[in-house]
Each structure stands twice: as C-alpha cells, then as structure tokens.
Structure 1
C-alpha cells in the first residue's frame, strides 16, 4: 500500500515544484553533482573509454546518488551494469541500485502482461496497434527489459480505429483521462498514489497513452509532423501470443528525437541512452541510413525539432551522429533553441530545481504561436479542455508562487 507520507509529499511538490518536498534530505547541489557523475559514468560505459570505471560519489553526495539515479531514469540500468561488473561502486550505492534493478525487472514483466491483455482486446476487435517508445525499445535495444523504467504504455492506432480502441479499453476497466487531438490518456483501475518516490516500484501506478498519430505539439501550440506512416516504416513484433507493429529506422530515430525534444526541460538521461542505443544498433545492422533520416526530417519540416535530443545524445556519446546530419539539424534550429542546448549537458538538461520560461518559449517563432501559448497560460487546460474557473485560479496562484520563490525564472541558468 502507498505510504500516507508519499501522498502528502506529492501534494506539497505539485504546489511548489520544489524537489525538497519529495526528497528533503537531498540538496540541490548534491542532486546536480550526483546527476553529473551518473552522466559521466554513462558516457564512459557507452564509449568504452575505460575498462573498469567507478561510480564513486564523495560523502556529500552518496545519499543523493540513488535519488538522482531514479530521477534520471538510470537506476535499473546502473544496477545492471554494476551487477555485470562495470562500473564498480560502494556497497551501499550498489545495494540501492540493485533494488531499483529488481523492481525494474518485476515491473517490466508486469507491464508486458498488461500490454498482452490490451493487444488481445484490440485484436478481438480487428485493431492492429503499433507499440511505441519504452515498451518496444526496452526489449529491442536495452541489455534487458527491466533496465529502462516502465512508466506507461504507448500505442498507436489508425484514426478510424480509435473509437473501437476506446471501447476496448473501457471494457477492460480503464478510465479516460486527459484528451488531446493527438492522443488520449487511459487510466487503469487501482490507486494513483505511488508506492515509492525513490524508485520505479513494481506497484507504482501506470497509464496508457493511445495515439491516433505520431504528430505532436511543441509548447502545446506548435505542430510537428513526421509524415504519414507507410509499410516500410513498420515491422512486426511478437508480444507473447500477440503481435503488433513497431517503428523501423529511420522513423524510429526521428520519432524518439522529436519526442525527447518536446520535453526538453524534462529530458531524462535514460531517454538519451535509449536514443543512443537505437542509433547504434541501427548503424551496426545497416538499418539506419543517415541520408534517409535527413530526408525524413527535412521533408516533414521536423529537423529543428529533433535537434535538442540528437545534440544531447551526441554530447553523451561523442561521434555517434553522422556529422552532416548533426550540422543539418543544428542549422535548421532557431537560435534560441541552439543557445539553450549549448548551455545544457546530458546530465543537466533536466532542471528539477529551477525552471525557466525561455525553455518553454523556445519553439514559439510567431506572434500567433505566442498568443496561443499565452492563452493556455492565462486559462490553463487539461488536455485540450479549459479548466473550470476556480481550478484555473488555483493554478495561476501556484504559478505566481513559483515565480516569487525563484522556482520559475525568466532565463535558464547556464
């Protein structure tokens, strides 16, 4: 059962955006130092630049490292690497990360069963689904499925199949959550309070996002399209007794890149590792053609939107990108985006302690886009639906409090 304290800490955090309400024993400086060390060790392992790296936090950040590993999504993967002998780590850190790995493995098995159930219900209605993001990449590209944390399930169906898919989910006991034009969130039955705030616990709640398109919006207002999905963009994938589609290269890299970039201020290190592993495997097996990826990004006008994720992945694993593609996406990106990416590293892109308006405005190139974004700020929305007046006023009061306390700043610190 969830700890009562977890619910209290979560409510305080949602009001303040202050991570100290989640992890009161972890200071901002210790958290950032631990995250940087995790990123540095990850680079060493992925590049093979040292035969036996060591995850060796000093006394001031030892207690922060497992929390930073959880927040960056790296806990289970670090636990797996330590279990495999690379890197080495102090015994208390190793034990904590081993627990995160154990829960990652259990949760992957649980989520796989949930996915099989949903796909079976879809197939009974003649719905063919495409499995997106971690529920595909965790099995296809990571050393084992439990090493990336499984927070939710993402499925893509044809727009005409959406009503039937909604009926299938309702019959399975799901409740409809936030609705966007591109996707709808579905919530399974059970508690919505996490069991743990220090790892992706096997029993933590999860959601299902049902996508009608791969298109998305940056800053809630700027549309981004990756084009239509054709037969060459997909291949079949077995999920127990069920089958589904998954994305092929180069669409997979384009989609993962745009997805990560759309959450720039929340970029977790594990998402960059995911992108690096997918790119590396694609190049090794000659499934990823750089010219084809460049054409896809250019013809759909999405190259600028993939830039932050691709550049941060290059910083994490130097040399992983084709130099021509790297130059193309950078040249297409707005100057504000390039500036913010230049200021960020793989371990510091995610700013839990200090948020900034310029990170949220970086995609807004026209006055119409800015006006549309401002409207969603003045009258907050849940999905595409405006909030009720009293709820909107409460959200505005919380935003004002964050500005006054320094949690939200005008410019992102370098």
Structure 2
C-alpha cells in the first residue's frame, strides 16, 4: 500500500534538505538522522533524483547498513558506466579526427576531464556534444557509424540512442543503461520564453577536428550557470548541478569569472549562484554575487533570495502550474508565457509527445495523455503530483523488497 502523498511530500522535503547539507558541508561525524523506514526510502529516492548517491558514498558517514549498501551499489554502477562513457568518448574523438569534424564535449565530460570528479563520483545521463551548423550532417553520420540512431529532435538538441538497446529500469544508476548522445548546435535556454544564447562565449575560437575543451574555466562556468538557470526556471534543478558549480568555483581566480560578462550582463546567473552560496559556504566570491545583484531584475532578485533546493526541484512533489513566470523580464514576456501555458505551441505539443514516447517514467500514466484543457482544470481544482517524482519514489519503495 502506497503512503499518503502528503506524507511523501513532507518526507521528500525533509530528506532532501538534510542530504544537501550532508553533501555540501562534507563534515565527518555528522549525526545520523532519526528517520523512520519510509523516510530512509525517501532519502534514497532524493539521492537518486539529485544525482548524488555516488558522492554520498564517499562523504556520508551514516552507518545504517541498508543505506550504505545502497550507496556502495550505486557508486559501483556509476564507476562501471563511467568506463563505458570514457571509452565511447575516446572513440568519438578518434573518429571525429579522421572525419575532420570539430566537436566539443560538454558539462559532465568536461568536469571529469578537469579532474573535478573521480570515476564513479558523478552520474552522467548522456553525452552532450556541441557541433557547428556546417558539420551537423557529418556528426550525424559519425554517430550513425557508431551504431546510433536519431530518436527525436527538440529546440535545444538532437537526441541519438544506441540502436536496438532497450532502457534499463530500476532505482538509480545501472551500469548497463544505454548511453544516449545529445547533439547541440547552440548553447541556449528559454527563461521562460526569451532565449538566452551563450554559444559565442562557450565555443572554442579555433576548434580542431576531434573533441575540444571549453576555452576557459569561465566559459564552462557560464554554461553550468545557464543550464542550472534553465532547470530552476522549469523546477527541475538537481543538487549535482549545484555541486558542479561549487567545485568549479573553488578552482577559479577572480579574473576567471570575466567570461560571464563577455557580451552582456548575465541577469540570469544570480539564482543558481545564490543557491550554491546557500548550501556551499564560501564557494562563491561575494564580489561576484554583488555584481550579479545589480544585473538581476528586481522580481527575480527577490525570488533568488527566498528559494531552496526542494522548491526548485522534483523534491517538491506538487506540479507548479506556472513554473518560471518570475523569470519574465517584461509584461510582454509574461503575457507570452501565459499565452503559451493556456494554448501550447505546436512545438510544445510535439515535444510532449516525444517525451511520452521515450521516457520510461511517463509510460502508462493517464495524466500525461489528458488533453491540455483537462490538465489545466485539474491544476485549478487539486494538487497534482509530478510523474517523475512518483516514479523514483515508487522504485525506492520497491527497492530490496
């Protein structure tokens, strides 16, 4: 029998915030929480949802046997999957050099290449690659030769999946999970409707055939912050995103932050850095926060001061009917956003259909197949739980039984 959703909601909130402090402070000897069995299972769900199980295996000192077994198991799966990802990246690099195609390995792959994470520390859901428009067809041919097929296209990227490999379902990471590849031609986010594009700041100035690195630590930080901003706007932030930013920030000298202001004031960067500063003390220079405060719109600046990880992530069980509205920088942006919520664009409808078709956590869920008007009416009459959160909670409740 499933526990009441109100109990799940409260348990996710409590366990998420405790886990965030446990990881961010990384203090040995932290007292183990006095959670009941349901709360411990919700803690495993939160750790999985936020991508931090392998790191907790290193830093958490709590000696509850079932908890330790789960963390050790997760770290083992991530380490084995990392070997597969590293081998695939080497193959892509070699083939791209031969084909004369410049590519750029993004986010998680770049963080590993800098040594910020050891193998097994950080889960990678997929490999993200940046290619210029002129080389999209050549990159697609390269991936096809590696046994990949196009799965779907959305405004941010093209998704490629290994041909003939079924998804692996279960709680958390698994060594045999297929490695998807997302091919990007731009680095951009909709916040919530106006697009912020930082491709020019992120792309190497003289990219060579093969895999290229970010031109600087500041360029990588720029991308991590924009990616986190997009996830905050959509209420899908993960603690691993904040951990990425905190680790990189501690390696940066004051001058390394300059790429953030390369073309214009990064008005969108304050909310993610405020959250990092909330959980990771002294990771973000105060001078950077002060400068970003001046660039941030007043409503968003106020929003950034009051938020927690739980409120901006899937640990908040209830769906938000208007996620990201506070990111609108003008009445016109807000009106356009509300119009799109009331009457989705054809692009949004197609993206939703692709998600229903490709995401395991949406299979068999009546909510996602309801018409838009029915969903709006439901939102107005009762709280609606997030399907992705219910999926991982369900797997956590089944784990080990």
**2:51·2:123 contact (CA, 8 Å) conserved in 1?**
yes
Match of 2:241 among 271, 275, 289: 271
Answer with 308-317 or 395-404: which moved more: 395-404
Answer with 334-343 or 159-168: which moved more: 334-343
**1:251·1:296 contact (CA, 8 Å) conserved in 2?**
yes
Partner of 2:382 in structure 1?
405
**2:77·2:175 contact (CA, 8 Å) conserved in 1?**
yes
For residue 102 of structure 1, report the CA deviation from its aligned partner: 0.9
Q: Which runs of 5+ in 1 are unaligned?
A: 1-19, 283-287, 410-414
Q: Distance in 2 between matches of 1:234 and 1:383?
A: 35
Partner of 1:226 in structure 2?
198
Match of 1:364 among 318, 321, 328: 328
Aligned residues: 366
- Whether 1:213 aligns to 2:194 is no
Match of 1:262 among 225, 230, 246: 230
Q: Distance in 2 between matches of 1:212 and 1:281?
A: 28
Partner of 1:59 in structure 2?
36
**TM-score between the two structures when normalised by the length of structure 2:** 0.79
Match of 2:93 among 119, 126, 131: 119
Larger RCO: 1 or 2 (CA < 8 Å, sep 6+): 2
Q: Distance in 2 between matches of 1:247 and 1:325?
A: 20
**2:228·2:241 contact (CA, 8 Å) conserved in 1?**
yes
For residue 55 of structure 1, report the CA deviation from its aligned partner: 4.2
**1:142·1:148 contact (CA, 8 Å) conserved in 2?**
no
Q: Secondary structure, in 3 states, of the residue corresponding to 1:186?
A: strand
Q: Output aligned runs, 1:103-252, within 5 Å.
A: 103-191=77-165, 193-196=167-170, 198-219=171-192, 221-226=193-198, 228-229=200-201, 243-252=211-220
**TM-score between the two structures when normalised by the length of structure 1:** 0.77
- Whether 1:342 aligns to 2:309 is no
**2:102·2:208 contact (CA, 8 Å) conserved in 1?**
no
Residues 311, 362 of structure 1: alpha-carbon distance in 2 compared, 3 angstrom cutoff: same
**2:111·2:117 contact (CA, 8 Å) conserved in 1?**
no
Q: Secondary structure, in 3 states, of the residue corresponding to 2:324?
A: helix
Residues 276, 57 of structure 1: alpha-carbon distance in 2 compared, 3 angstrom cutoff: farther
Residues 387, 133 of structure 1: alpha-carbon distance in 2 compared, 3 angstrom cutoff: closer
For residue 107 of structure 1, report the CA deviation from its aligned partner: 1.3
Partner of 1:88 in structure 2?
62
Residues 89, 70 of structure 1: alpha-carbon distance in 2 compared, 3 angstrom cutoff: same
Residues 214, 66 of structure 1: alpha-carbon distance in 2 compared, 3 angstrom cutoff: same
Q: Distance in 1 between matches of 2:351 and 2:281?
A: 44
Residues 384, 359 of structure 1: alpha-carbon distance in 2 compared, 3 angstrom cutoff: closer
Residues 315-339 of structure 1: per-residue CA shift (max 9 Å, x gap): 1112221212101212222233223
Aligned CA-pair RMSD: 3.3
Residues 110, 224 of structure 1: alpha-carbon distance in 2 compared, 3 angstrom cutoff: same
Q: Distance in 2 between matches of 1:171 and 1:81?
A: 41
Q: Secondary structure, in 3 states, of the residue corresponding to 2:308?
A: coil
Partner of 1:285 in structure 2?
none
**1:132·1:247 contact (CA, 8 Å) conserved in 2?**
no
Q: Secondary structure, in 3 states, of the residue corresponding to 2:269?
A: helix
Q: Which runs of 5+ in 2 are unaligned?
A: 354-367, 387-401
For residue 156 of structure 1, report the CA deviation from its aligned partner: 1.0
**1:44·1:53 contact (CA, 8 Å) conserved in 2?**
no
